[in-house]
Structure 1
């Protein structure tokens, strides 16, 4: 709606709302951008009907307005922005209030733990959030017009279902980022239960970067007001304002004030020259990096071109590109006396030509020679090639309808969401394992010094299965220390539903193949 000065109609929309006696919640956002996306999404959802009515009455809309008019009527988009708006009201908004209320960054630890536990529950079932159940009970929720719009019944089962699905996927992504970014302040992290010394050091660490955001806001304002000013000018004004230099000078006696001003005048040319020298150094560094990237890109393009030429030659030797399953079978029949390696090279060439030259669509595994250590057989490569040919035939024959979103049946959407959530859960579990491995590295020197400390510990150890070549984690318990030899010490381990074995566990801990529970 706002868009740029050329294509947007923000001023006209404000007039439209004012005529109807409605408050405009689509305000220009200045300052901290932490909650920008979620806050604006809630405002858009609240004004969705106003936007529809306004654009319906707008004569000769440009392409931007046509796009907005189309999107604001689509249930999929409306449900998504509703989900983002609910996150603002129930999670990110209250969290920001808590962040601003604490004295330092480590005081956030209890709230981050609450948030992690709540997100873990809600990414599986977000219905409590749709009903307005708070994440932080001690923080007051802003129950304004936007809140009422977000939590009002829509009487549309499609929007309600899509809203919950969008919330669950978004919260799963937030959980993944939270556990990754705040790992040091969550259980197991080095700052979760910090000693007094760390608490003292953290007392001067602000919980937000509002100060630097404020500096950038000042810079943005100055660049608009004084577009021809130099960087030194912008920097001087910002430092003068933030350091309250005028107030400090006023507190000095006239003689001392005059002395400082004269010293500054004398030092100004030297400082400006130093700044120019620094700019030249930065320019030279950037120029060097730019040339390196250009050379790298040129090498990659030459390499890709050479590969395409070679693949084209190989494909021609095979009689050209195969565009149907029948052509694959005809080729096999003509060359039935050839070896398995001949067919393996032929199928690989056709797959690589489709991938690198034609850019054919399809799962990336279908174009590869192996997956997770498993080498594809000739039969599997043939099957993959036929799948890619069939898939791209279907895509080429599809009729694309303009300006129309095709909604799938709800049961199919639910199945797709379920698969997406399963992938997200696997990603979360893998990320948690990486965090645990990283967090326990500081224990390794202690285990090497005293190997018996590992005895009696529960562990999870990573193995690659022989048949499927899949990686799997097995739970076990360290029964005894068989032979002490520093990092090569050998331990007897009893795994669940398996016989006990002897391993050099400390080497596996060093490689990241073991998690000590």
Structure 2
């Protein structure tokens, strides 16, 4: 992937190319991904060529990658899935530059307006990389200092000052010194304002957390009180059967709800159970008392360690693995088809 896709693509976007001329490369990228997602043989045997103008760089790592291996069949299957996913991303994110997009085959006016538009965001990434390095090398420096260093380097201020007459250069330096206290004052005021705002937000979050914790505690207290009025929580199926034997249907329903609510909020959802086991309805339909009883019995059995034994780990079945890969690829292909339909509408 790195040798045949990533590096050639980055070589293309970092070249001195007009952004509108990159459309033919975007189109070829889409076409080659579509071809390789169906048959990734060229990527596996090393004969793939994404962009003729930007061939892959062949070195000792490249040669090592394309030595004969017994895993080529499995690699080809995995590549097919990955490339199908990449195809979906490319068709979605480059839709405006592909045939039918609003920036495909634009007129000369648009080409002129976009003449200085870069093909990448490496410039901004470079600035943040410099900032990250300065923060590590100068942990006590303030933001104004780091901004000045970055701008001095990025704008080539040193070379600009040396190109000026001595008198003009001294005047600019003197002006910068005079403005320094004013800039630092504005920086400190801004920093204090941001700090106060952050402090207010933190206090509000703490207030909300305390209120939420108080509500949770009150709810749990009420649940425990309800259970205490029913002579405590059930421990087993036998105890449950004994407690509800003389209850009416309405009393049984309320009793089961209280018991399930106690198990969920006090003990939490247990291993071997599902979230649905702790609910009182599903898809708008309320559970019957018998259904609630079955769910509570399941919860109690898991509580008492009677849940099902863990299924032993067995080696993956090659046929099932292939079926899963095929299903995943079909899902990605359907997604691509839906994206194409949406663009046509």
Measured on the aligned residues, the alpha-carbon RMSD in Å equals 4.6
Superposition deviation, residue 207 in structure 1: 1.0
Q: Which sections of structure 2, spanning at least 5 residues, go unmatched? A: none
The 3 A distance-change label for structure 1 pair 184 and 166 is same
Alignment match, 2:64: 149
Aligned to 1:267: 179
SS at structure 2 position matched to 1:284? helix
- The aligned runs of 1:458-469 (5 Å cut-off) are none
Does residue 143 of structure 2 align to residue 231 of structure 1? yes
Q: Contact (CA 8 Å) 2:244, 2:252: kept in 1 or not?
A: no
In structure 2, the CA distance between the partners of 1:208 and 1:304, relative to structure 1 (3 Å rule), is farther
Question: Measured at CA, do residues 338 and 386 of structure 1 come closer, stay the same or move farther in structure 2, by a change above 3 Å?
Answer: closer
Q: Which residue of 1 aligns with 2:125?
A: 213
Deviations 1:191-237 (A, max 9, x none): 34545544333222211111122223333443444444333222212
Q: Give the counterpart of 1:414 among 322, 330, 334.
A: 322
After superposition, the C-alpha distances for 1:277-300 in whole angstroms (9 at most, x for unaligned) are 222232233333333443444444
Q: Specify whether residues 356 and 181 from structure 1 end up closer, same or farther in structure 2 by C-alpha distance, changes over 3 A only.
A: farther
**Which structure carries more helix by proportion?**
2
Distance in 2 of aligned mates of 1:332 and 1:428: 58
- Aligned in 2, Cα 1:249/1:120: closer, same or farther, shift over 3 Å? same
Matches within 5 A, 1:103-502: 103-120=17-34, 122-123=36-37, 126-134=40-48, 136-138=50-52, 139-155=54-70, 159-160=71-72, 162-186=74-98, 189-194=101-106, 196-308=108-220, 320=233, 330=241, 334=245, 338=249, 346=256, 350=260, 353-354=263-264, 357-360=267-270, 374-376=283-285, 378=287, 385=295, 397-398=309-310, 407-421=315-329, 424=332, 432=339, 436=342
SS of equivalent residue, structure 1 residue 101: coil
SS state of the match for residue 238, structure 1?
A: helix
Give the conservation status (yes or no) of the 8 Å contact 1:240–1:246. yes
**1:343-396, Cα deviation, whole Å (9 max, x unpaired):** 59947973895488523456767766777xx43463796699489759997877
Normalized per residue, the structure richer in strand is 1
Change (3 A) 1:262 1:145: same
Stretch moving more, 347-356 or 118-127: 347-356
Q: Which has the higher contact order (CA 8 A, sep 6+)?
A: 2
Aligned length: 339
Paired residue for 1:53? none
Gaps of 5+ in 1: 1-86, 440-515
**Judging changes above 3 Å, is the alpha-carbon distance between structure 1 residues 394 and 233 closer, same or farther for their aligned structure 2 residues?**
farther
Distance in 1, Cα, partners of 2:2 & 2:30: 16
| 1:253 to 1:276, Cα distance in 2 relative to 1, 3 A | same
Note if contact 2:227-2:258 (Cα within 8 Å) is conserved in structure 1: no
CA 1:258–1:149: 2 relative to 1, 3 Å: same
Answer with 293-302 or 391-400: which moved more.
391-400
Deviation, 1:270, is 0.8
CA displacement 1:22-60 (0-9 Å, x = unmatched): xxxxxxxxxxxxxxxxxxxxxxxxxxxxxxxxxxxxxxx
How do residues 31-46 of structure 1 correspond to structure 2 at under 5 angstroms?
A: none
Q: Is the 8 A contact 2:41 2:76 kept in 1?
A: yes
Q: Kindly tell me: are residues 279 and 305 of structure 1, through their superposed partners in 2, closer, same or farther at Cα, counting changes over 3 Å?
A: same
Query: What is the TM-score normalised by the length of structure 2?
Result: 0.73
Distance 2:38 2:242 in 1: 50
State the Cα distance separating 1:239 from its structure 2 match: 1.0
Once the 2 structures are TM-superposed, how far is the Cα of residue 152 of structure 1 from its aligned partner? 2.5
- Aligned CA distance change for structure 1 residues 423 and 311 (closer, same or farther; 3 Å): farther
TM-score if structure 1 supplies the norm length? Answer: 0.52
Kindly state the Cα deviation for residue 269 of structure 1 after the two structures are TM-superposed: 1.0
For residues 107 and 309 of structure 1, do their structure 2 counterparts lie closer, same or farther at Cα, with a shift above 3 Å needed? farther
**Residue by residue, what CA displacement relative to the aligned partner does 1:224-266 show, whole Å, maximum 9, x if unpaired?**
4444433322221221112111221112212211111111111
C-alpha distance in structure 1 between counterparts of 2:37 and 2:243, whole Å: 50
What secondary structure does 2:249 align onto? Answer: coil
Report the Cα distance in structure 1 between the residues aligned to 2:330 and 2:306, rounded to whole angstroms. 28
